Structure 1
């Protein structure tokens, strides 16, 4: 046995120095890679799984990784979903960028649950039993961009949310009010999902969105009786489906001139005031299905970029030859790809063929009253 060990040592010692890189060479290579990665601004990486990570020049990998009991940890992602947890687990690695805690039984987020997680980028808490989030719970998570709180029992939007948030989803909770200070300083909040909350028009305090840049808002399945007039002027998408809105007034869209998608389906809309749609000249898609309209909304022919309009399941009895298309062909910048008029009491055989002269193809129009 001693002879074998001696022979192995002899072979290793006689190997050429250039056969493998030295420790110093490995260290220099790692340092150079780190310098190359850090040439840009480290805060510019906004992907869901940012690629930059600090490298220890002495240990290229973590020899003793920690992971909460029962969870799975890899690539700075901690999966703790569907474990029946009643609280946020401890021992979460400090370099974690994503935590998945959905489908558990967590009732409260405490002050120190995420303390020290300065690299946290996404936090998923959907489908728990949350009723309380400590005002200082997100004090150190200054890079948090995605926060998912849907399907819980929260009665208010958490205070002191990170200013870095780009997406907040708090669907299906018990939120009744959006207070003035809730989103203060959140200049990068681009997506806000608040559907299935008992929120009415009076619950949105004046100035609640002052100075906030939001591109997408959804407040469907709520208690709105009119279109909110104090939402961010930067909106590109506004979805208010499944509410109790009965009319669209001239002033409703004056604030949202850049709007491109509008969802008003499944409301009680019987009247759209003339000139209302002229305030959203860039709109490309409008949903007005399952309402109580008796005629085609005026002003559609003036919307140069409108491509999709859903009007099915209303009480429309007549379609005029100029209801959708302008009289001057060059005014229309984008042709219709979908016009839905099915399930309306329209005598479709009386509709003039020229009515759809600005449509991509005849397959883009649904006009017949389909019955089961």
Structure 2
């Protein structure tokens, strides 16, 4: 098993079947490029289907503006996805459907204004960072019962108090919006304790 690192290459687009001939990939890095969209079929190859396939996907610091329907649906072994630092305005509520093993999603530092119901209902999902967005609303059925932590730091029109008061958060989930921690790195790969100078013990679990 190995990883493919295409970061820091100023890539603007990718062939839809680029990874079809690769097997036993565990991590894919596409960080720090100029991608504006993910082509249909890019994550449909053998390395993205079934067991013992890609576990970590890094799409951070590109120019993506939306996450389309069921974009990652074949990636059943995916555990963490990092999309921080894009220009994402819209997340389709089915974007993460089919990710049975996903436990961390980082969408911090984007332009998302609303999270629709059903978006984060994955059964193993524990950590979601939505810090530094433009959030005004999260629908009450957005998160599943497995959620441990959600970060809402620097969303001027939505606070943890507002989210909690409207019944958005599952029972027992912790919400962080105090500016100490935006989970910029930690949420994309559990076990990494780097969190803007604030060590969150949740990363040790």
TM-score normalised over the length of structure 1: 0.42
Q: How does 1:100-249 map to 2 (within 5 A)?
A: 188=1, 190-202=2-14, 204=15, 206-228=17-39, 229-231=41-43, 232-233=47-48, 234-249=53-68
**Secondary structure, in 3 states, of the residue corresponding to 1:356?**
coil
Structure with higher Rg: it is 1
Residue 177 of structure 2 corresponds to 367
Residue 128 of structure 2 corresponds to 309
TM-aligned CA distance change 1:208 to 1:216, over 3 Å: closer
Which residue among 71, 83, 90 is the counterpart of 1:264?
83
| Length, aligned pairs only | 170
Q: Is the 8 A contact 1:348 1:368 kept in 2?
A: no
Counterparts of 1:366 and 1:211, CA distance in 2? 39
Give the root-mean-square deviation of aligned CA atoms.
2.4
TM-aligned CA distance change 1:347 to 1:220, over 3 Å: closer
Residue 343 of structure 1 corresponds to 154
Deviation for aligned residue 1:337? 3.0
Mind listing any 5+ residue stretches in structure 1 that lack a counterpart?
Answer: 1-187, 326-331
TM-aligned CA distance change 1:346 to 1:198, over 3 Å: same
- Going by fraction, where is helix more abundant, 1 or 2? 1
Deviation for aligned residue 1:351? 3.3
Deviation for aligned residue 1:338? 2.0
Counterparts of 2:148 and 2:70, CA distance in 1? 29
Residue 283 of structure 1 corresponds to 102
TM-aligned CA distance change 1:263 to 1:314, over 3 Å: same
Q: How does 1:30-69 map to 2 (within 5 A)?
A: none
Mind listing any 5+ residue stretches in structure 2 that lack a counterpart?
Answer: 181-205
Quick check: 1:254 aligned with 2:47? Answer: no
